[in-house]
C-alpha cells in the first residue's frame, strides 16, 4: 500500500475508474435496468481499493488472508462486477450478461459469485457483515487482512449501521474500514444531510470512530486516506467520501432523476461513453494488484461430542441443554463460535463465552448486528451460533432473509418461546418464530422437547452445512429420552402408540408434555391416542405422519405454543395436504398476556384440557 | 412547569420518587418476578415528569392535549403503574395484582391500559413511537403538548433508536424529549459505555440533538433540565441522566446481579422498604399535577371515495392503484396520513405526499422508525398508511409484532412482491410477507389482483379499525372488474366456473393471471377448471372454498408468488384442514435470482405452464 503515487500510478487508477464507469454504463444499458448513476459516484473509491489499496489474489477471491471488500450499497453491483473483471477474475464480455437468468451477475450481488460473502441489496447490512469478518481476523484466526465496506449515504440512516458502528468501536476493530459514498441523492429525494460533510463527521466521531472527510473523486486523496486508516490503531476508520451521483457523465452527474435508470441504447449511451473515453489519461500504466501475505489457516477436524449429561426423568429447560451442548461443542470443534445480544445468562451462551472468550461475541442489545456478524463469521468458515429470545429474532428478520438468500452457514437459537414463558407477557413471547424461519428457503427448523434431543440436535446443527433454527423453551421439562437416542434431522418420534389409537396428536415443546398428560387422561376414559414428538419441523417426516394418520382413522391433531398461522400445525398440514387427511389444529389464537406459565398454556387453549376436549370432539 | 422549586415542592417530588420505589418493590415481590432495580434507577425521573413537569389530566389519560409519556424501557412497568396510581387514576392496592392473569398490569405495558399508547418491552421502540406522536402534534393537529420518552442505556444500542434520532432531528421535533436512564448495568453485563456521560453526549450531539447531562437522582436538576428542553426550539432534546440501578436500596444499588429479580418476601423486602421509608422527607406537600391547555381536536367525518378511475381491460399495476386510492382517500378523510421510506416514487405514495404534505412523512431509509411513527400517529387517532417494498417490512418485523400486540390501527402496504419483480433479484423480492403478516394475531391480509379491487380494498382498509396488510405487485396487470364491483374483507371472487369443473385453482396477484391463462389452455384441451381470486387471505372465505372444492371433485390447487411456507396456499389449507380435501400447492420453492419477470414466474414453477402440468397430474 503506497501513500504517495507516481503520476503513472495515479493515471492508471484514474483510468481504471473511468473503465469501471464505462463498463457499468454498458452493462446496465444492455440489461435495460440497473443503477449506473450509483456506480459512477463510487468508481474512484472502488478503483483505489481494487488497484492500489487492497492486497488480494484476484484469481482466488476466497483466499483466507485476502483483504475483503463488501459492497453494502448492493445496487452498485455492476461496478463490483466490473472491478473483478478488470482484476482478471472473468472476461469483461461476461459483464453484458448482467441481470439475465443464465448469469450469476445478478441485479444485486449474491454469494453465487465467489467474491461475494453475503448477499446485499437490502441496505444497512454490509457493515454488520464486515464486523463479523473483522472479528474473525482480529480475534479468531488472527489474520492481518483488512476489511472494507462501501456504503451509500442514504443507507447510513438504517439503524443496523449504527449497531455495527457501536460494536466495531467496542471491539476496537482497527482492521475494519467503512467508506460512505456521500453522493447526495437518494432514490426519491436528496438525502437528509446531502453534502453536509461536517454533520457526517460529527455522527461518526461521536460514535468513537476515526473519521476522514475526503474528496471521493480524488484518487490520490483516497489512497492517502486508506493509508491513514491502516495506520490507525484501536479503532475503526470511516472515509466520508464526498461524491456526485453519475460522476463523469455530464447529463447524469448530480441530477436527481437518474436513480435506478439505465442510459437508453443509442445516441445517449454513445454520448456517455464518448465523454468517459475523453477522460482517459494517455500515460496510464496497467494497475498492479498487491498480493496478501500468505497465512494458511489450520482447519482442525472436529472431535466427537461427549455423551449428554442427562438421564430420563431429569428436569432441564431446553435452553439450558442448548447452552450445555454449545459449550461441549466448543471443546471439540474450534470452528464453532457464538454470539449473543445481552441475554447470555438467559440463553445460556454464557457457558460457552466463559470457556472460549476469543470465540464469543457479545453484541449488547443489537440483534441486527449479531445476525450480520454471524453471517460474516460464517463467510470466514466459522460455524456461528447466534442466540437470543425467539421474539427478538423478529428484530433481525431482514438479516435472516438475506442470510437465507446467501445460504449462510449460521445456526440460530431462539429461547423463551410461546405463552409458556409466563409473567413477562407478550412482548417477550416468541409466537411467530416458526412462521418466519420456515418461510425462508433452505432453513432447517428444529424444535426439541427435552434435554437429550436438544443436545443431539445442537450437535447435528453444527455438523450440517446451512442455516438452522432451533426453538428452545424457558420452563424446565422432563428428560424423555436415553442418552443413546438419535434424532436425525427430518425425523420424528412416536412416543405413544397402540393398535387401538383413534387419533394422532402431533406436538413439540411444552405441548408435547400436555399431549402426554392428555394421553393419560384419555386412556383413563378408554380412548387411546398416538403421540408424536415432531422435533424436526423443516424438513418434516411426511412418511411417519402419513403412516400414523392411516393407522388412526386418518385423523391428526396438532398442538403448538405458537400462533396459528405458519407454525407446526401448518407444516404438518402442508406435508399431508394432497392426501385428504383431516387435520385439527390447536394454537395460540389471541393476543397473549401475562400470567403463570401453566395458566397461560391452559387459557390459550393448548393445554391438556383443550387437547382432551378436542379429541373428544373429533372422535365423536 | 416551574424552573425553580420551593423546598416543599422539592420534598414532595423526592417523596413521590421514594413512594414509586416502594410500590415497585412491593408489587414485584408480590408477583415473584419483575425488575425493581430498573424501576429504582428511573424513579426520580418519573417523579419529576409526572408530578412537576408534565401537564395532563390524570383521570383522562387519552385527553388529546395531554403531555405524553412513553416508557420505552418497558421492563420498568411497575414504576409506570405506580406513577399513574400515585396520580390517582386507579387505587394503589391494584398494583399488587401485577403480572397476574386477571390484571391488565402486565409484565410489560400494553395498550390494554388506557395510559399506554403502544406496547413496549422489546427495546428501542419507544422513541420511534414518540416521533409519531410528536409529528402529529407539530404537523397534523398542531397541539402544544410535549412528548417524553424514557429509555434505558443498554437499549440505546438498538439501531431503531438512531433511526428515530435522525428523523426527529430532520423534522425539528422540539416538542419531543428523550431521557436515557444511564444506570450502567445491562441484563448480563455492564453496558458498553457504562457511566461515560461524555461519550453519550458526543453521540446525541453528533446526531444534532440538544443533549443535557444531568444527575438522574437530583430532582431539582431534572426539573431544570426539562425546563431547558421545553425552551429549546427547532431541535429535540435528550436528557442523559446518570443514575444507579437499584437506587435507594443499599444491597441492590449499583450491584450487577439484580437485573430482573424481585426482592424475596420477608426480611429482605422489609429491609428495603424500611430503608426507603427513612428517605421520606418530613415536610413534603402533596404534588400538584398541572393540567393541559384545552385543545379540542375536530374529528371531521370522512366523505365518500370517488369511483375508481379504471375500466375493464386497462393495464395498471396494483401498487399504482394503491397510490391513486390513497390520494383519493386523503381528499375525503383528513385522518388519513401516510409514511414512506425513500421509495415513494415506487410505491406511489408520492401522489399523496405532493397533495397533502403536512400529512405525509418521509422516513428516508429507516423502516423501523416508519413503523414506530405510524403506531404513534395511530395512537393519536390518525389512520396511517405506511408503504415500502414488501421485502423491507422484514426490517421492521419486531415493530409489526409489537403493533399487533397493541392492536394498532395501522395500514401497511408492501409493494414489489414475488419473483415477478424480475431483474432486481432476490434482495428486493417480497416472498415471505404473507407468512410474517398472517402469523400476527388480528392482522387482516389482503392481496388484490387488479386496480379496481386494490382501490376498493384500500378504501376498506381505512374504514375498518385494526392492522391491515395489503400486498401489491410491481408489474402492470389488466383490470378485471367493473367500477361497481365490491370486495368485502373476508370474501373472494369466483372468476371462472362451469358445472363441469374438475378442479378449483386458487390464486391472487400475478398468479391469478397465470391461472386464467392456464384456464384457457386447459379449456382448449377439454378440461374445465374453476378459478378463484383470493383477494382476502386473512380472514378467508372458507365457505366459498369448501363449496368450490365440493363442486370440483374435492380438489384444490393453490398458486402463489410467495415462498411455500405460510403463504396463500397454507392459508387455504388451514381453512379446509378438517374436511379431508386434497390441496396441491404451487409456490416459490428455491432461492430466486435475477431475470425477466415472465421468465422467473415460469422458471420458479408458478406460471401457466406449471399450472397446466399440475392440473393434468392431479386429475389423472
Q: What is the pLDDT of residues B93-146, one digit of tens each?
A: 999 999 999 999 999 999 999 999 999 999 999 999 999 999 999 999 999 999
Q: Which of B526, B272, B566 is nearest to B435 (CA)?
A: B566
Q: What is the pLDDT of residues A363-393, one digit of tens each?
A: 999 999 999 999 999 999 999 999 999 999 9
| Site from B394, B540, B580 to mutate, A interface, most A CB atoms within 10 angstroms | B394
Residue identified by cell 420505552 is B72
Confidence check: pLDDT of A3 > 70? no
The mean pLDDT of chain B is 96
Give the span between the Cα atoms of B64 and A272, in whole angstroms.
57
The answer to whether residues B617 and B605 touch, using CB atoms and an 8 Å cutoff, is no
Answering whether pTM is above 0.95, one says: yes
The mean pLDDT of chain A is 96
ipTM of the complex: 0.98
CA B154 from chain centre, in angstroms, equals 22
Q: What is the pLDDT of residues A89-125, one digit of tens each?
A: 999 999 999 999 999 999 999 999 999 999 999 999 9
- From the CA of B487, how many Å to the nearest CA of chain A? 23
- Say yes or no: A354 contacts chain B, CB-CB below 8 A: no
**Span B211-231, mean pLDDT?**
98
pLDDT of residue B301: 78
Q: What is the pLDDT of residues A30-39, one digit of tens each?
A: 999 999 999 9
- Say yes or no: A569 contacts chain B, CB-CB below 8 A: yes
B381: region left, alpha or beta (phi > 0 left; psi from -120 to 50 alpha): left
**Closest-CA residue in chain B for A208?**
B199
Indicate the pairing of strand A493-496 with strand A530-533.
Answer: antiparallel
The answer to whether residues B48 and B222 touch, using CB atoms and an 8 Å cutoff, is yes
CA A260 from chain centre, in angstroms, equals 26
Tell me if A121 and B425 make a contact (CB, 8 A cut-off). yes
| C-alpha cell, A616 | 373428544
Give the span between the Cα atoms of B242 and B42, in whole angstroms.
10
pLDDT of residue B285: 79
Whether the link from the prior residue into B27 is cis, omega within 30° of 0, is no
pLDDT of residue A245: 97
Tell me phi and psi for residue B537, to 5 degrees. Answer: -90, -40
- Burial group, residue A279, by CB count within 10 angstroms (0-12, 13-18, 19+): middle
| C-alpha cell, A256 | 436527481
Q: What is the DSSP letter of B187?
A: S
Confidence check: pLDDT of B253 > 80? yes
Residues of A in contact with B423 (CB under 8 A): 31-34, 99, 107
Task: State the SS3 of B354-382.
Answer: HHCHHHEEECCCCHHHHHHHHHHHHHCCC
**Span B38-46, mean pLDDT?**
98
Give the span between the Cα atoms of A53 and B531, in whole angstroms.
60
A338 Cβ partners below 8 Å, 6+ apart? Answer: A326, A330, A349, A352, A353, A356, A359, A360, A361, A384, A385, A386, A387
Give the span between the Cα atoms of A376 and A374, in whole angstroms.
5
Angle between helices B608-619 and B510-524 (to 10 degrees): 50
**Span B404-413, mean pLDDT?**
98
Indicate the residue of B119, B159, B204 with minimum beta-carbon distance to A366. Answer: B159
Confidence check: pLDDT of A1 > 50? no
Indicate the residue of B157, B574, B580 with minimum beta-carbon distance to A570. Answer: B574
Give the span between the Cα atoms of A553 and B354, in whole angstroms.
62
DSSP string, B405-453: HTT---EEEEESBSGGG-TT-GGG-B-SHHHHHHHSTT-EEE---SHHH
Q: What is the pLDDT of residues B528-586, one digit of tens each?
A: 999 999 999 999 999 999 999 999 999 999 999 999 999 999 999 999 999 999 999 99
**Span B505-532, mean pLDDT?**
98
**Span A410-416, mean pLDDT?**
98
% of chain A exceeding 90 in pLDDT: 96
Confidence check: pLDDT of B486 > 90? yes
| Site from A159, A198, A436 to mutate, B interface, most B CB atoms within 10 angstroms | A159
- Say yes or no: B603 contacts chain A, CB-CB below 8 A: yes
pLDDT of residue A61: 96
Confidence check: pLDDT of A298 > 80? no
Catalytic residues of A: 367
**Span A541-568, mean pLDDT?**
98
Residues B139-143: contacts with CB within 8 Å, 24+ apart?
Answer: B139/B171, B139/B358, B139/B359, B139/B361, B140/B337, B140/B358, B140/B359, B140/B377, B140/B380, B140/B382, B141/B64, B141/B297, B141/B380, B143/B64, B143/B65, B143/B295, B143/B297
**Closest-CA residue in chain A for B152?**
A365
The answer to whether residues A421 and A429 touch, using CB atoms and an 8 Å cutoff, is yes
Q: What is the pLDDT of residues A528-552, one digit of tens each?
A: 999 999 999 999 999 999 999 999 9
**Band of the pLDDT at A283, cuts 50, 70, 90?**
confident
**Span B336-355, mean pLDDT?**
97
Sheet holding A210-215, edge to edge: A68-71, A147-152, A176-182, A237-242, A210-215
pLDDT of residue A297: 63
Angle between helices B7-31 and B219-231 (to 10 degrees): 100
Amino acid at each position: 500500500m503506497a501513500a504517495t503515487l507516481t503520476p503513472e500510478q495515479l493515471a492508471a487508477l484514474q483510468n481504471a475508474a473511468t473503465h469501471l464507469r464505462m463498463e457499468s454504463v454498458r452493462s446496465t444499458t444492455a440489461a435495460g435496468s440497473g443503477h449506473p448513476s450509483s456506480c459512477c459516484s463510487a468508481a474512484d473509491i472502488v478503483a483505489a481499493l481494487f488497484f492500489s489499496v487492497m492486497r488480494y489474489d484476484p484469481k482466488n477471491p476466497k483466499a483466507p488472508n485476502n483483504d475483503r471488500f463488501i459492497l453494502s450499497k448492493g445496487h452498485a453491483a455492476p461496478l463490483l462486477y466490473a472491478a473483478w473483471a478488470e482484476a482478471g477474475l472473468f472476461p469483461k464480455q461476461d459483464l453484458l450478461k448482467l441481470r439475465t437468468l443464465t448469469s450469476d451477475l445478478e441485479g444485486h450481488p449474491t454469494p453465487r459469485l465467489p467474491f461475494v460473502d453475503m448477499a446485499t441489496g437490502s441496505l444497512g447490512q454490509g457493515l454488520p457483515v464486515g464486523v463479523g469478518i473483522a472479528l474473525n481476523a482480529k480475534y479468531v484466526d488472527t489474520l492481518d487482512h483488512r476489511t472494507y465496506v462501501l456504503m451509500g449515504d442514504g443507507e447510513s440512516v438504517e439503524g443496523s449501521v449504527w449497531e455495527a458502528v457501536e460494536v466495531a468501536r467496542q471491539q476496537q476493530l482497527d482492521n475494519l474500514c467503512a467508506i460512505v459514498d456521500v453522493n447526495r441523492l437518494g432514490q426519491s429525494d436528496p438525502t437528509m444531510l446531502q453534502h453536509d460533510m461536517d454533520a457526517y463527521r460529527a455522527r461518526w466521531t461521536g460514535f468513537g470512530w476515526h473519521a476522514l472527510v475526503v474528496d471521493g473523486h480524488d484518487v490520490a486523496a483516497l489512497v492517502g486516506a486508506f493509508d491513514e486508516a491502516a495506520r490507525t490503531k484501536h479503532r475503526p476508520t470511516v472515509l466520508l467520501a464526498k461524491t456526485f451521483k453519475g460522476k463523469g457523465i455530464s447529463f447524469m452527474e448530480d441530477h436527481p432523476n437518474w436513480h435506478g435508470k439505465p442510459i437508453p441504447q443509442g445516441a445517449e449511451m454513445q454520448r456517455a461513453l464518448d465523454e468517459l473515453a475523453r477522460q482517459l489519461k494517455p500515460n496510464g500504466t496497467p494497475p498492479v494488484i498487491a498480493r496478501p501475505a500468505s497465512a494458511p489457516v489450520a482447519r482442525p477436524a472436529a472431535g466427537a461430542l461427549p455423551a449428554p449429561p442427562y438421564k430420563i426423568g431429569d428436569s432441564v429447560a431446553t435452553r439450558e441443554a442448548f447452552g450445555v451442548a454449545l459449550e461441549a461443542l466448543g471443546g471439540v470443534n474450534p470452528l464453532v463460535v457464538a454470539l449473543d445480544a445481552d441475554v447470555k445468562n438467559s440463553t445460556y451462551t454464557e457457558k460457552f463465552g466463559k470457556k472460549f472468550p476469543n470465540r464469543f461475541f457479545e453484541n449488547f442489545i443489537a440483534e441486527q448486528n449479531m445476525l450480520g456478524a454471524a453471517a460474516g463469521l460464517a463467510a470466514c468458515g466459522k460455524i456461528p451460533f447466534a442466540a437470543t429470545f425467539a421474539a427478538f429474532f423478529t428484530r433481525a428478520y431482514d438479516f435472516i432473509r438475506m442470510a437465507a438468500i446467501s445460504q449462510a452457514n449460521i445456526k440460530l437459537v431462539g429461547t423463551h418461546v410461546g405463552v409458556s414463558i409466563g409473567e413477562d407477557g407478550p412482548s417477550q413471547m416468541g409466537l411467530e418464530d416458526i412462521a418466519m424461519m420456515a418461510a425462508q428457503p433452505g432453513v432447517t427448523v428444529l424444535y426439541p422437547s427435552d434435554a437429550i434431543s436438544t443436545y443431539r440436535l445442537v450437535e447435528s446443527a453444527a455438523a450440517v452445512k446451512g442455516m438452522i433454527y432451533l426453538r428452545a423453551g424457558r420452563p424446565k421439562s422432563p428428560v424423555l429420552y436415553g442418552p443413546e437416542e438419535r434424532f436425525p434431522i427430518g425425523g420424528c418420534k412416536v412416543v405413544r402408540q397402540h393398535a387401538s389409537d383413534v387419533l394422532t396428536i402431533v406436538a413439540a415443546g411444552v405441548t408435547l408434555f400436555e399431549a402426554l398428560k392428555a394421553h393419560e387422561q384419555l386412556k383413563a376414559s378408554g380412548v387411546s391416542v398416538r403421540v408424536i414428538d415432531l422435533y424436526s419441523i423443516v424438513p418434516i417426516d411426511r412418511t411417519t405422519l402419513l403412516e400414523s394418520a392411516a393407522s388412526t382413522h386418518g385423523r391428526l391433531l396438532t398442538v403448538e405454543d405458537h400462533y396459528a398461522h405458519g407454525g407446526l400445525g401448518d407444516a404438518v398440514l402442508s406435508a399431508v395436504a394432497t392426501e385428504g387427511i383431516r387435520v385439527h389444529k390447536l394454537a395460540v389464537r389471541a393476543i397473549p398476556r401475562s400470567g403463570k406459565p401453566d395458566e397461560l398454556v391452559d387459557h390459550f387453549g393448548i393445554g391438556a384440557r383443550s387437547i382432551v376436549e378436542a379429541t373428544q370432539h373429533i372422535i365423536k
